[in-house]
Chain A
Amino acid sequence: MRTRIPLALAAGMVVLMVLAFFSPKLKATYESPINNGLFIFMAFAVVPAIVSLIRLHVARIRRKHPDSIYSGIALSALFATLFCGLIIDKHAFNGPSFRWIVTFIFEPLQQAVFAFLAFFIVSAAYRAFRARTLEATLLLFAAVIVMIGNAILPLPGPSGPAELWLLTVPSMAVQRGIILGVALGIIAQSVRILLGLERGFVGRG
């Protein structure tokens, strides 16, 4: 029973959503409530996430883990942000104190971390882009052409700029293959859910 009801619910939802795609009447009747249900589910998902985060870090602090200082910082940041959003800003969407935290703490930190990539990309390119084999040489030439054509100098290609030819002919052919493969995989997975063969999401392999 613990698996049959969720499997039946999932299969029923798949059938309903597929039929709603082809029937304007079903779409008008069911799509909006189902979408609203998804928003509510997403909101509920925050609760176990926060509880889990708090439990993890509290346990670390109790055990006096060597990195427990970071757990303390994470918990302080969580509660300070909650306090600003719920108490000081009185639940207002994007209130002033919450916005201050985002603008002057969160955004600069995220940007700084992302900016490190510039350094590591150069270092990694220096070590990895070496023409040791035919495949590596082809990759190297393609990368060099795209880099030159994108930011240094316009390069003529078979039809228009050379980097655009690489992006719209060989690269696009591969991308199309990937897109088709993923789409077929999604269809196969959906059929498995519909038939009750996919049981991973109910805790059965």
Chain B
Amino acid sequence: MERLLNIDRQWIFLVVVVVMLVGAIAQPLIPMPISSESRQLYDVVGAVPERGAVIVAMDYGPASKDELDAMSVAVLHHAFARNLRVLGICFDQQGVSNAERLIMDVAADSNRRDGDDFVFLGFQSDMTAAILGMGTSIKDVFPEVMVDGESRTTAELPVMRGLEKLEDIALSVQMTGSKDYEKWINYGNARTGLTLATGATGAIVTGLYPYLSSGQVSGLLRSTRGAADYERLVLDAHPGLERSAGRKMSVQFLAHIMLLVFIALANVGGLLGRRTAAEDDPA
């Protein structure tokens, strides 16, 4: 009983390592149904007309990369497969390199041309001011961009034809691990009517449900599970996407079971301890 309550931390850490390693090589044991929020996001991307413009905002740094990269890749793959114009942005200064690399890699796999079919607008230092500014003029906020390694004027790019401000954008999908989603909602959706969808880490996703319910957010990817759902939906219609989050679901499956076992051990130990104490001291 005492042992159940006082498992040494080193044994817990060892079990975590073993479970992670087994999960990395195993297949998901029970297929989970596709969540309604993930399907909503898939449908909202699917509703954008061909050559419509979509902002993919990869507003996260390396800490959230493992959770959110799979979402970014799946959304980019879906958008390129549907022949949509993509404007990539990153409002997290620690994630700019990663965001640029992701959009370039997925575009190369989808045979999309930089400047014609997509552009990476880059980073601006103040997210609130940038979103407010994009409501008036996207080209003023990002006057110059790098296209094929050369600095070009944003206004001259074919991909920006007819795209002056946020009202001209059909959809913005933001991936984030922070409360920054509120800035897109407050200044993008509320002020210009921009249709928003969000992919969020497990730590912050609960804060997005009120906005999903009110319609201010039109679709939501919930952590690795949401990314895995989205991958499945995209793969069914547009093959060629490499599964990333789907493979991680086996780790999630085993890690959650391990967590429940540890919680159960602690509670059984606690219950038995209280019972023994009550029998020893009936008064």
Contacts and interface: CB of A to CB of B under 8 A. Distances in A.
Contact of A175 (B132, B141, B206): B206
A147 B256 contact: yes
Interface in A86-125: 93-94, 98-99, 102-103, 106-108, 110-111, 113-114, 118-119, 121-123, 125
Contacts of B140: 32, 36
A42 B253 contact: no
B146 A93 contact: yes
Contacts of B137: 32
Given A93-B122, A110-B63, A154-B32, A131 B207 contact: no
A69 B132 CA distance: 44
Contacts of B206: 167, 171-172, 175
A107 B62 contact: yes
A113 B96 CA distance: 19
A110 B263 contact: no
A19 B176 CA distance: 31
B258 A131 contact: no
A19 to B, nearest CB: 15
A125 B258 CA distance: 11
Given A32-B140, A94-B96, A110-B62, A167 B30 contact: no
A152 B256 contact: yes
A27 B136 contact: yes
Nearest to B97: A102
Interface residues of A, number: 57
Given A111-B63, A154-B32, A123 B266 contact: no
B28 to A, nearest CB: 9
Contacts of A111: 62-63, 65-66
Interface string B1-35: 00000010100110110001000000000101101
B47 interface: no
Given A38-B126, A38-B129, 5 more contacts: A32-B136, A39-B124, A108-B62, A130-B270, A154-B33
Interface of B: 7, 9, 12-13, 15-16, 20, 30, 32-33, 35-36, 61-66, 94, 96-98, 100-101, 122, 124-126, 128-130, 132-133, 135-137, 140-141, 146, 151, 191, 206-207, 209-210, 213, 222-223, 225, 249, 252-253, 255-260, 262-263, 265-267, 270-271
